[in-house]
Structure 1
Amino acid sequence: MMDQLLAMRVFCAIVEAQGFSAAAERLDSTHSSVSRQLKRLEAELGVQLLNRTTRRFALTAAGQRYYDACVDILARVEAATQAMAHEHQRVAGTLRVSVPLAIGTLELADWLPAFQQRYPDLHLDLSCSDEMVDLVADGFDVALRISQPLGDSSLVAKVLVESDIVLVASPAYLARHGLPVAPQALETHALIAFSGSQTATEWVIETAQGDTVRIPLEGRLSTDAITAAYSASLSGVGIAAFTWNTVRPALARGHLVHVLPSCTLGKRLYYALYPHTRHVAPKVRAFVDYMGEHYRAA
């Protein structure tokens, strides 16, 4: 079957270049190929488009009408192609994102305003939950997760940042109970356990000397909501563990104090997860790149 659009382009090139050789050069083709395309087109249409001699050619009446129609059709095709290319690059529409509570609530003010300012045509549909979701089945474009290193997955898993897990408490709590100077001293303090964590029963603390100290979480409060643990620590209930990214603003404002700064409870990775696809949607790429920039800057 003849490629109708290609034949139209060849015919227009012949007319506009005023010759087969010039048309072939314009199309990066050969004289014989251009001539063959025209013959096939005339046979397909059942009309003669050009009166040609060895030295020159001229459009027939049918050829003139067909040329005018081709110019209009090809212009429309080009305009549609350009419009689709522009739409493909434009960051717009609705982006459904699943994020953990820490990112969707505690860290929200640090990243959302600037993101919306950069992409004013994008509507963000944000679902905040620490539960793992099925991106495809639940209709999400991308998910952010804070976890230990992920294994093999059917999803693209891009690491945005690595963050230390740190201990914090409010100034009011430390004024009443004192500042712990060693991990073992935590056993006499009120500890806030986040039961949604993989370390819900104990904290495994590594000292600056490389020693490991295990602290059982037998405090007065255990919660499965990171937001509740955060509020409790701000209100002076006890000492809690969070990723550095989550508590960085509160530490900078003096609302929380870094407890045992020479120790660490390990690290967590911030991931962006999205389905494998040949062409990543501009809105997904924009969001993932922006969050990577945000965390690198922080």
Structure 2
Amino acid sequence: MNQLSAMRAFRCIVDAKGFSAAAERLDTTHSTISRQLQQLEIELGAQLINRNTRRFSLTAAGEQYYAACVDILDRLDAASQAIAHGHQRPEGVLRVSVPLVVGTLDLPHWLPGFQRRYPDIELQLCCDDQFVDLVADGFDVAIRIASALADTSLIARTLTVSSQVLVASPGYIGRHGLPRSAQELDKHHLLSFVGASSDWQLSAARGGVVSVTPSGRFSTNTISALHAATLAGAGIACFTQATVHNDLAQGQLVRILPNYSLGERHYYALYPQSRHLAPKVRAFVDYMAEFYQQS
């Protein structure tokens, strides 16, 4: 048995969510894919996939082995690519789809450093909170912010996980006071982001969850407008820690109810599956991971 080939077959079965689809991607037959999986399970002495005629699911051993396969195969592909390209410098046009917050509020903090590090990359940035079809629309990579990522055939890399926080400007606090509990938020102007979950779920350190519906004199469908309104003293708003990190450090915004938790948001980099990830894509994804992990 060629273990490396069997590992690629197993990974492809999981990514493609089926044997037939995996066989098509690998340009082989259903029987060959099935045989490789069977041989791999015999070699490991463990069942990796529970399967029947309609669907399959990973066993606990399968989930563990899949994660290891992804790590090993990605490292091998990266090493092969580096050798094949002679440590090629990242260069060329790079088309990237990002949420508005990444292309507006965050951009002044990451773009200059990226351009200094990779002067041969021509970055074409599309800012839109709507999910795009990377392959059909011709994008190399996309960044998305979500509580959880929906099933996708794309490769997903977590750049960072950021807590959600409540903030307000010092001016607003000076005029309206500082709330001391989640219940006191009802007395304040709460700024809402249209399209997000309507309620804030505040979990107390001692247990218990308080649901608060943002209600005030301002709502918007863009994070940049919500950020501007918060800085202007219009009220209290919810952002990821990564978005307001610099504002908090500079004293332009102040944390509200820091003893309460509002959950987390994941920052993902998504790109099409490929045996050879382009150096320009890897450079961008690595750089953004470095940027957000420092935020």
Same fold (TM over 0.5): yes
Establish whether residue 274 from structure 1 lines up as the match of residue 271 from structure 2.
yes
Cross-structure match for 1:218: 215
Letter in 2 for 1:91: P
After the TM superposition, list the runs of 4 or more consecutive aligned residues in structure 1 that deviate by more than 6 angstroms: none
Letter in 2 for 1:250: D
Partners in 2 of 1:123 and 1:210 — Cα distance?
A: 50
Letter in 2 for 1:138: D
Establish whether residue 205 from structure 1 lines up as the match of residue 202 from structure 2.
yes
Alpha-carbon distance, 1:97 to partner: 0.6
What do the CA deviations read for 1:211-266 (whole angstroms, capped 9, x no partner)? Answer: 10001122211111111100000000000000000000011111101111111211
Letter in 2 for 1:128: C
Cross-structure match for 1:262: 259
Partners in 1 of 2:139 and 2:155 — Cα distance?
A: 14
Partners in 1 of 2:165 and 2:85 — Cα distance?
A: 46
- Say which one has the larger Rg: 1
* Equivalent residue runs for 1:164-175 within 5 Å: 164-175=163-174
Aligned-residue CA RMSD (Å): 1.6
Cross-structure match for 2:151: 152
Cross-structure match for 1:134: 133
Cross-structure match for 2:228: 231
What do the CA deviations read for 1:176-209 (whole angstroms, capped 9, x no partner)? Answer: 0000100111111001100132x1x211111111
Cross-structure match for 1:31: none
Cross-structure match for 1:285: 282
Alpha-carbon distance, 1:85 to partner: 2.7
Partners in 2 of 1:174 and 1:187 — Cα distance?
A: 15
Letter in 1 for 2:85: A
Aligned to 2:135, what secondary structure does the other structure show?
A: coil
* Equivalent residue runs for 1:187-202 within 5 Å: 187-197=186-196, 199=197, 201-202=198-199
Alpha-carbon distance, 1:89 to partner: 2.0
Aligned to 1:161, what secondary structure does the other structure show?
A: strand
What do the CA deviations read for 1:2-61 (whole angstroms, capped 9, x no partner)? Answer: xxxxxxxxxxxxxxxxxxxxxxxxxxxxxxxxxxxxxxxxxxxxxxxxxxxxxxxxxxxx
What do the CA deviations read for 1:54-80 (whole angstroms, capped 9, x no partner)? Answer: xxxxxxxxxxxxxxxxxxxxxxxxxxx
Contact 1:272 1:288 (8 Å CA) reproduced: yes
Aligned to 2:159, what secondary structure does the other structure show?
A: strand
Partners in 2 of 1:272 and 1:97 — Cα distance?
A: 10
TM norm structure 2: 0.70
Equivalent residue pairs, number: 214
Structure 1: gaps (5+ residues): 1-83
Structure 2: gaps (5+ residues): 1-83
TM norm structure 1: 0.69
Which stretch has the larger CA shift, 160-169 or 202-211? Answer: 202-211
